[in-house]
Amino acid sequence: MNLWQVAKFLKKQNVINAINLDGGGSATYILNGSLANYPSDYCKTPKWHCPRAVSTVLCVHERMCQPEDCSGHGRCVEGQCVCQQGWSGPGCANLTCQTECGEHGICTENGCVCDAGWMGLNCSQVCAAGFYGDDCNQTCACANGGSCDSVHGQCTCPAGFHGGFCERECPLGFYGLNCKQPCQCQDMCPCESVTGSCNTTYQGERNISLHRAGHCLATQMWREWRQEVEAHAPKPYLSEQSWLVVCAILATSLLASLAGNLIQTCRKCKARGQRADYSYLPLGEINGSVERSRGQGMKSGKVIFQQEDSDSQDSS
């Protein structure tokens, strides 16, 4: 058996290291790093064996990989590295996705890890509509048909709406994208928030808001008009309070005058009543007295009364 045949035989027996000590005919066997036996011959004394003199050393073992541990990402089989999934190269030192993840991904042992807003095996696909973020697992919160940015989720509003989540309609008087277009309606009337059409009607909350705004504006206009009219109206000579004082004085004077007239009237009526007690009835006309007694009776009521008594006595 030649040397190659010996080596082949030892390899079949899973022998890792074999040391040929004498050039053939005998060998030392090492198993798992321990010396199993070594060749020997009888010494000069037949009772003892002595180590045989070494003439040749032969090492038989598996072919080694470079590096021996396959960079920690594989195992060595008959001198070749068998790489784990995701690794390649003679020494399993290269990631298989290193040139496949493109501009929007990072190659790792588990494959491509995509940037926020991107997905797919090689990170070449943008997130589907309505999703954003890492692995596209965040749901957009945009309202009224708004679309969100695939990376941060920022909303882009359609015409007629604005706000962080496109939740608000354009304010009255504006329309279009980002509500930047002013309405062009006659008399500054509001327009439709999407197209800017002046022929539009409002419903729900917007109609209520418009009604309130119109009522408020009309009230303010009426108040301003009243203030302007009062400002340009001729001012009276006397204030309202002064007129009240003057009217009160005049009313007091009128009452005082009326009271005075009533008192005088009552006094005259009383005086007339007292004269009725001394009324004169000429008896001369009845009895044929002379006219002189009439003149004397008109001068003094007392004399008249006495003459009446004397006349009555004469008649008796």
Give the DSSP per-residue string, 192-239: -TTT--SS----HHHHHHHHHHHHHHHHHHHHHHHHHHHHHSPPPSS-
Give the DSSP per-residue string, the chain: --HHHHHHHHHHTT--EEE-SSSSS--EEEETTEEEE--EEE-SSTT-EEEPPP-------PPPPSSTTGGGTEEEETTEEEEPTTEESTTS-EETTTTTSGGGEEEETTEEEEPTTEESTTS-EEPPTTEESGGG-EEP---TT-EE-TTT--EE--TTEESTTS-EEPPTTEESGGG-EEP--GGG----TTT--SS----HHHHHHHHHHHHHHHHHHHHHHHHHHHHHSPPPSS-HHHHHHHHHHHHHHHHHHHHHHHHHHHHHHHHHHHHHHT----SHHHHT--THHHHHHHH-HHHHHHHHHHHHHHH-
| Cis amide leading into 67 (omega within 30) | yes
| Band of pLDDT at residue 34, cut at 50, 70 and 90 | low
Q: How many CB atoms lie within 10 A of CB 66?
A: 13
pLDDT for 67: 87
Q: How many CB atoms lie within 10 A of CB 209?
A: 13
The pLDDT tens digits of the residues spanning 263-313 come to 888 888 877 666 555 555 555 555 555 454 444 544 444 444 444 444 444
User: Is 139's pLDDT higher than 70?
Assistant: yes
What residues are paired with 88 via a beta bridge?
A: 94
pLDDT for 41: 64
User: Is 152's pLDDT higher than 50?
Assistant: yes
pTM recorded for the entire structure? 0.42
CA quadruple 271, 274, 280, 281: dihedral sign? positive
Alpha carbon distance 283, 294 (integer Å): 9
Mean pLDDT of all residues in the chain? 75
pLDDT for 157: 94
> Where does residue 101 rank: exposed (0-12), middle (13-18), buried (19+ CB within 10 A)?
buried
Alpha carbon distance 266, 288 (integer Å): 40
- 112 contacts 101 by C-beta, under 8 angstroms: yes
The mean pLDDT value for 116-122 works out to: 89
| Domain edges within the chain | 3-51
More confident position, 153 or 46: 153
What residues are paired with 139 via a beta bridge?
A: 131
Least confident of 40-44, 112-116, 228-232: 40-44
Least confident of 1-5, 29-33, 219-223, 229-233: 1-5
pLDDT for 304: 42
pLDDT for 260: 86
pLDDT for 181: 92
The pLDDT tens digits of the residues spanning 52-86 come to 665 555 555 667 888 888 988 889 888 889 988 87
pLDDT for 57: 54
Alpha carbon distance 60, 163 (integer Å): 79
The pLDDT tens digits of the residues spanning 153-179 come to 999 999 999 999 999 989 888 999 999
The mean pLDDT value for 97-119 works out to: 84
The mean pLDDT value for 136-147 works out to: 92
The pLDDT tens digits of the residues spanning 212-235 come to 877 787 888 888 888 888 888 776
In angstroms, the Cα distances linking 81 to 63, 70, 78, 111, 166 are 11, 6, 8, 20, 58
More confident position, 87 or 281: 87
User: Is 3's pLDDT higher than 70?
Assistant: no
